[in-house]
Chain A
Amino acid sequence: MLTQVATRHTRILLTGDHAVAYAALRARPHLIPVYPITPQTPVLEKLLELQELGELTADIMTVESEHSAMAACIAASLAGARVFTATASQGLALMHEMLHYAAGGRAPVVLVNVNRTLASPWGFWADQTDSLAQRDTGWIQLYCESAQEALDSVLQAFRVAEALLVPAMVVIEALYVSHTLEPVEIPDPELVDEFLPPYEPPVRLDPATPRGFGGTTAPVQWRANRLALKAAMELALDAVEEAGRRYGELTERAYSSVETYRAEDAELVIVTAGGIAGTAREAVDQLRGQGIPVGLVKLRLFRPFPSARVAGLLAGVGKVAVIDRNCSVGSGGIFCQEVRAALHAHRVTGPQVFSFIAGLGGVNVSADRVMEICRSALNAVSAPPDPILEERL
């Protein structure tokens, strides 16, 4: 049954971090274990402010480390509580062990990570390595380009995570999303309640039905657990689509795992994720205005990787320019690795894939730079195997 498209929302100016806090408010979590770290701190501060105002009823647990925050999230989630947390950079790295615990334990925790450089040396700037380094932990990962998308994605993440019992990470970039003030529509509580039912897991830590969670296993059982997680993660491909569609019916903002922008008949398609995707839209418009047929494929879902969709969208494209704001040292751009692997796995051999590493450490990536990237790929005879460093263009 379709719900009538609603205009029930409030449109105000919010930063990405504050939009995330409003998403958490609307999700009605029981518990928010959280530890402050730049540039996530405004999320925590806004949540405390909303609690002080009596709007947020969740218990905010200000723990002594991110590691403990995630440990508390997992245990609370397994007891049947809806839990939310947010972190960045070193905090996510410190959580790494517990991210595996959450996924293996099937605790549908929702976490927002603000992409920030990992030390050493110290920095506060946009860089995707912190979250991409968690790609094998068994978490769903969604990358957002705006404060609005961050708010909307947190709500969708809860719906998908709790349906599949797989934890989900929503990722926004330091500064360019986290600290950027822009108009954001906050859906009314009733609208979100319609989209996101209360969390009641099929089994939980409950004295009425004593069960052991997370105990030692034999190899065969461990394998069975991992394969069950794998199967659930594969279902996330459709679940993310369903959640994005349903959210669109309620808010007129539909989402998908992969989004395209003017990619039809493009000779060159930019593939990127996060805030650079927004800048790339501007570059695409400007280049199209000059008669240069380029388009954009935005990767919103990174885990599970929508391999078939990416391969299908890029089949028949002459050139692909993947822009990574990260660098896996000794290998290259991480999104590009995944795109190349998807094309290879689906026997799509046509496109020449150019790997560009741009904006490392939060260095500015303007629309002009994206256009230069496009021109250099269009002018090249063939794609080099190694990544092209944007600053050397």
Chain B
Amino acid sequence: MLEIRIHGRGGQGAQVGCQILAGAFFKTGRWVQAFAAYGGERRGAPVTAYLRVDERPIRVRSDIERPHHIIVLDATLLDDSSIVASLRPGGWLFVNAPLPGVPPWNSVRVVTVDATAIALRRGLSPVVSTTMLGAFAGASGLVPLEKLVEAVREGSPARAEENIAACVEAYWACAGLEAIGA
């Protein structure tokens, strides 16, 4: 079973992004489970979304405490050191940050992408989740781009084409950085 956690702030699309990624994996024939820790609907409040992917029905119903991969929509959330500490050994951290390349950070493999800049260019700000999903798919190779694009089209509450463009741009920016393997 593959376990992914998305950290964002209210308004960035963490929850919807998580559901879109679930949809992309579902389209590949996998079983998925997506949910988010919710509460008030306040803009800017930290939001955590969870995604499980498996080849068989998923029975466990609990928060993901040790994810294989983490997607961070707002780098200031990393001030909470427990987020990076919870990553499984060999896991990847996808961060929305204007830093080039793949610097090692606390022995965690990091992919940075300036999703805010891409989303701004596409008129999507503050929604950066679809951009980060492109980065995730490109770098990891875990989900085919065409499935992700389909899922973004179906799952975007608005501006589907802009979301797709941002997603695809980030995909190619990160494509082939390193295959993670399932």
Contact = CB atoms under 8 A, between A and B. Distances in A.
A279 B62 contact: yes
A165 to B, nearest CB: 34
Interface in B17-73: 19, 22-23, 26, 31-39, 57-63, 65
B59 A279 contact: yes
Interface in A343-380: 364-368
Contacts of A146: 61
A175 B60 contact: no
B32 to A, nearest CB: 7
Contacts of B26: 13, 183
Contact of B37 (A175, A278, A281, A367): A175
A145 B22 contact: no
B62 A366 contact: yes
Contacts of A367: 60, 62
A302 to B, nearest CB: 18
Contacts of A275: 61
A242 interface: no
A276 B33 contact: no
A211 B62 CA distance: 52
B33 A180 contact: yes
A256 to B, nearest CB: 17
B35 A179 contact: yes
Nearest to B33: A182
Interface string A61-96: 000000000000000000000000000000000000
B60 A124 contact: no
Interface in A148-185: 173, 175-177, 179-183
Contacts of A13: 19, 22-23, 26, 32, 34
A183 B36 CA distance: 16
A278 B59 contact: yes
A366 B33 contact: no
Contacts of B60: 278-279, 281-282, 366-367
Given A13-B32, A366-B65, A175 B38 contact: yes
B61 A177 contact: yes
Contact of B19 (A181, A276, A366): A181
Interface extent on A, as a size class?
20 to 34
A183 B56 CA distance: 11
Nearest to A364: B63
Nearest to B1: A282
B33 A181 contact: yes
A180 B38 contact: no
B45 to A, nearest CB: 13
Contacts of A15: 35
A364 B34 contact: no
B32 A278 contact: no
Contact of B61 (A39, A124, A183, A279): A279
A276 B62 CA distance: 8
B38 to A, nearest CB: 6
Interface in A245-280: 275-276, 278-279
Interface in A1-42: 13, 15, 39
A183 B34 CA distance: 10
A176 B62 contact: yes
Interface in B111-159: none
A369 to B, nearest CB: 8
B88 to A, nearest CB: 14
Contacts of A278: 59-61
Given A13-B26, A181-B19, A364 B32 contact: no
Contacts of B32: 13, 181-183
Nearest to A284: B59
Interface string A116-153: 00000000100000000000000000000110000000
Given A183-B57, A365-B62, 7 more contacts: A179-B35, A183-B31, A275-B61, A278-B61, A279-B61, A282-B60, A366-B60
In order of increasing CB-CB distance, the 8 nearest A-B pairs are A180-B35, A275-B61, A278-B59, A181-B34, A176-B61, A364-B63, A282-B60, A366-B62
23 contacts: A13-B19, A13-B22, A13-B32, A124-B38, A145-B61, A175-B35, A176-B35, A176-B61, A180-B35, A181-B33, A181-B35, A182-B32, A183-B32, A278-B60, A279-B60, A279-B61, A282-B60, A364-B62, A364-B63, A364-B65, A366-B65, A367-B62, A368-B65
